[in-house]
């Protein structure tokens, strides 16, 4: 019996992963939940049936990574699952989004995900699983979501390459690439006051329960990429054959609908 570590666990997809791991993953005896909002983590701990270790950390700060490393060195747990779900995005043009928000997106979506993965890997063994929560935005450039999409492209490619490097150890890595999820905080938080209207609709959005369930199943069977929904699956295939310049102009039409 090992533990699971879930970042971004205070809300949205990360929170749902905690609930589903607690109820469906029989080999997990404890979950370490990581997010900034401690009160929400405490509320989550009351909802699930297995022990929860709360780590109230801001992963954009390197000292938070250092603290996680200290906890791992002290406990020396067997980590059977890592879900890197922490992340955020901003909608708007290059002039609408502050440098601080741009830096934080890069720090959280890229650097923190890599740092957490590197910190946890020494405690994983054969059949352990890593889920890097990317996005369908990883498959092409997206104007008015450009930094977020670029960070997810980074994480997607990191995940695909890391999977090959870890094959000799028998550790499975899955890049999870969902479409818009309607019942999380992401869409409201992604909208910027100056960028309102840059993306006018979020049609065919998925729901968090189905995304988490499909992603966990894809990870369980060892898929390298999880596209938990029809839109992201079609997008992934289309982006392999249609030049990015054409995909960009298709997006230009879609975002105005």
Per-residue pLDDT reduced to its tens digit, 61-80: 999 999 999 999 999 999 99
The Cβ of residue 11 has, within 10 Å, a number of other Cβ atoms equal to 18
Q: How is residue 139 written in tokens?
A: 């498959």
Looking at the DSSP bridge assignments, the partners of residue 129 are 81, 172
Q: Where are the chain's structural domains? A: 2-255
Judging by DSSP bridges, how do beta strands 52-56 and 172-176 pair with one another? unpaired
pLDDT below 50 — which residues of the chain?
193
What is the pTM (predicted TM-score) of this model? 0.93
**What would the pLDDT profile of 9-18 be if each residue is shown by its tens digit?**
999 999 999 9
- Given the candidates 3.40.30.10, 3.40.50.510, 3.40.50.720, 3.40.50.300, the CATH classification of the domain at 2-255 is 3.40.50.720
What integer pLDDT is reported at residue 193 of this predicted model?
47
Structural contact between residues 138 and 149, judged by C-beta atoms closer than 8 angstroms? yes
Q: How is residue 10 written in tokens?
A: 């205070």
What integer pLDDT is reported at residue 216 of this predicted model?
97
């Amino acid at each position: 019996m090992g533990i699971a570590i879930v970042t971004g666990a205070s809300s949205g997809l990360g929170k749902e992963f905690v609930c589903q791991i607690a109820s469906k993953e029989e080999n997990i005896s404890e979950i370490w939940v990581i997010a900034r909002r401690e009160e929400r983590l405490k509320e989550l701990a009351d909802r699930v049936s297995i022990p929860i270790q709360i780590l109230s950390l801001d992963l954009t700060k390197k000292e938070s990574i250092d603290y996680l490393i200290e906890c791992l060195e002290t406990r020396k747990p067997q980590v059977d699952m890592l879900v890197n779900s922490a992340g955020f995005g901003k909608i708007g043009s290059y002039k609408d989004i502050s440098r601080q928000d741009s830096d934080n997106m890069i720090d959280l979506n890229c650097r923190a995900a890599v740092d957490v993965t590197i910190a946890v890997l020494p405690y994983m063994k054969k059949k352990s699983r890593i889920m890097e929560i990317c996005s369908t935005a990883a498959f092409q450039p997206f104007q008015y979501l450009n930094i977020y999409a670029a960070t997810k492209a980074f994480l997607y490619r990191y995940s695909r390459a890391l999977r090959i490097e870890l094959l000799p150890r028998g550790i499975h890595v899955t890049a999870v690439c969902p479409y818009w999820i309607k019942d999380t905080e992401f869409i409201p938080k992604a909208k910027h006051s100056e960028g309102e209207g840059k993306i006018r609709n979020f049609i065919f959005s998925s729901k968090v329960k189905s995304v988490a369930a499909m992603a966990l199943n894809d990870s369980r069977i060892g898929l390298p990429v999880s596209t938990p929904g029809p839109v992201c699956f079609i997008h992934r295939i289309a982006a392999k054959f249609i030049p990015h310049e054409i995909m960009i102009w298709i997006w230009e039409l879609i975002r105005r609908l």
